[in-house]
Amino acid sequence: MSLSATSVKAPLMPKDARVIEASSSREKIVDSSLTYQSDFKSFAFDDDLMTNLSKVNFEVEAEENIQRLFEKFTEKMPEKLKKLEAETQDGRSKLESKRAKTQEMKSSYDKLKTPTTEFEKEEANIKDHIKSLQDRLVNIQEKKKKAIEEKDALVQQRKEIKSIEDSLSTSLRAQFEKKMELEQRKVATRDELKVFAKKHQILRLNL
């Protein structure tokens, strides 16, 4: 069995050494871009080696594919970075717009709050005025209560005076009636004495 060295693709790698472990034989093949061809010719071409080489070829192709994918990904990175930067800038613009709207809403709220503050001040003034009126009302009620008490006292005094007046009037009336009775008795007595003197011819009688 013969196998040319061109059947196995040399890895498109830089000049650093690579270690590839074969899964079945567990042998380690040291590959270098400088020594690969000479080392490859010294291998014995048996079935196990061919299997290992096939696996090596598969792994090399897989690594090449990974390398190409990495290169494509690297090529697209600037475009993705630009897109990400554009999205970031757009996000910043939206954030600034939201901040501006928030500031505008805060300003509007402050403007609305100013009349509310004036209303609260006016309400406080009205409450103070109401409290002042309530204090005046309490003062008036106290004065009214005191006046009523004084009036009751005056009424009581008037009752007492009326009672005294009634008592005096009764006493004076009794005295007057007694005086009138005495006057009437005196007049009657005088008339009787005149009749008696005339009857007995008493000329001079000091009556």
- pLDDT number for residue 22: 41
Which pLDDT value is given to residue 142?
92
Comparison of pLDDT for 180 and 55, the residue scoring more: 180
pLDDT tens column, 81-129: 777 778 888 888 888 888 888 888 888 777 776 666 677 788 888 999 9
Tell me which DSSP letter residue 10 carries: P
Whether the predicted pLDDT of 21 surpasses 70: no
Residue 204 DSSP SS3: coil
Tens digit of each residue's pLDDT (9 = 90 or more) over 56-79 = 556 667 777 777 777 776 666 677
Closest CA to 36 of 23, 58, 48, 53: 53
> 36 versus 104: which is more confidently predicted?
104
What pLDDT does residue 55 have?
Answer: 59
